Amino acid sequence: MPRGLNLGEVFGIPVRLHYTWFVALPLIAIALVVYFYGIQPLWLNVIHGITASLLFLASICARELVHTFVAINRDMHVGSVTLYVFGGAPRITEQNTRPVPELLVAIVGPVSSLIIASIFYALYYALGGVETSMPAEFMQWLFFFNLMIALFNLIPAFPLDGGRGLRAILLMIMGDYSRATRISALTGRIIGFLLILAGIVLIATGGGWFASVATAVLGWFLAEAATASQREVIVRDAFRGITAHDMMTQDYTPIKQQLTFGVVREYIINSGQHCFTVIEDGKLQGIVTLGDIQIPQKRWDSTRISDVMTSASKLKTAPLNQPAVDLLEQMDDYDIEQIPVVQEGKLMGMVTHERLLRFLRARAVLKA
């Protein structure tokens, strides 16, 4: 699963900034500092470079807001969004992936980038008469960046928009989600490696340093994202047919919400468990994890379990028939270690992140 910096939620969907941005943002800032060197003082060039890189990130965020809105509007459940340098990758589950809406989402990406590029070009044109050319040049660069994102996403390589469109077409032809995703992701890896090779060749032959490095870095980003997409398909196939009922355990300990932490502290510590359930009249009221009980000693005898538990209404829960892979993705998206399995308010079991990973390791060993 792709990981990164958690930026919060938009439309109730977790958004992550992929770690490759920590490479891209400094590169963009440095490129602009070098380009404007000698026009303005160095400190001002640095400020402009940092501002441009952040505005570029903001334009990618705006692009993905449109992406996500269109997907939701077409009744496609978006589990999470990962922001890559070349655009975002909304994670839409297999059961919610349909060819025509997928094609629409694929088209919206480049169109959004072109609109954003047009806005920066309009600002560049409006600033053309300013005495110093730096503000206009600044907007021209941002126009160029977003135009390149629009064109780059036309490449039929997943998870680019072109690759998403390719997957939609393959899905219509083959009717097999896994094969369609594997082929489009493999195309993404191949094109990514070719871009890395092209960047190396440009560097070796004395091509422009920015174009050479940018080509190689974009290739690396694309290959990395395509590899992550391939891993997701492998994980999804491993869990095919496996539900929450198959993965849940009943090895959990219930505690009463009216008890004080001082009464149950030693029991919790000595149990070796990471999660405790709060159940009243057979209904799940909430859960308590070790992270919830970091309480100062002076408050042990005044703090009730109900004060520190996460209430059932705020928990991610699952029905018995929910696909196990969806639970794993939710745990990764929301950084949680367990999901209660609930039926009509009654706790049936608990699916833990550790249990799902053990299952994957066993499947890998057995090659099942």
State pLDDT tens for residues 141-163. Answer: 889 989 999 999 999 988 899 99
Q: Are residues 149 and 88 in the same domain?
A: yes
> Which CATH number covers residue 330?
3.10.580.10
Q: Are residues 42 and 152 in the same domain?
A: yes
Q: Token digits for 179?
A: 């094969």
Q: Are residues 133 and 272 in the same domain?
A: no
Q: Are residues 231 and 271 in the same domain?
A: no
Average pLDDT of the residues in 33-57:
82
Q: Are residues 189 and 249 in the same domain?
A: no
Res 362: pLDDT: 87
- Listed residues 191, 223, 238: the one ending a domain: 238
Q: Are residues 49 and 152 in the same domain?
A: yes
- Listed residues 238, 266, 286: the one ending a domain: 238
- Listed residues 210, 238, 266: the one ending a domain: 238
pLDDT digits (tens, 9 = 90+) for 166-201: 999 999 999 888 899 999 999 999 999 999 999 999
111-120, 186-195, 355-364: the lowest-pLDDT one: 355-364
Give the range of the structural domain holding residue 199, as residue numbers without chain letter.
4-238
- Tell the burial category of 314 from Cβ atoms under 10 Å away from its Cβ (0-12, 13-18, 19+): exposed
Res 2: pLDDT: 45
Domain count, the chain: 2
Q: Are residues 132 and 29 in the same domain?
A: yes
Res 195: pLDDT: 93
Q: Are residues 360 and 303 in the same domain?
A: yes
Q: Token digits for 315?
A: 């928990």
Q: Are residues 225 and 248 in the same domain?
A: no
Q: Are residues 201 and 273 in the same domain?
A: no
Here the contacts of 234-242 (C-beta below 8 Å, separation 24 or greater) are 235/1, 235/325, 235/328, 235/360, 236/94, 236/178, 236/325, 237/178, 238/359, 238/360, 238/363, 238/364, 238/368, 239/323, 239/324, 239/325, 239/328, 239/359, 239/360, 240/325, 242/323, 242/324, 242/325, 242/359
Q: Are residues 43 and 182 in the same domain?
A: yes
Q: Specify the 3-state DSSP secondary structure of 16.
A: strand
Q: Are residues 286 and 199 in the same domain?
A: no
Round the average pLDDT of the chain to a whole number and report it: 85
Alpha helix stretches (DSSP H) within 175-295: 177-204, 209-238, 244-247, 261-271
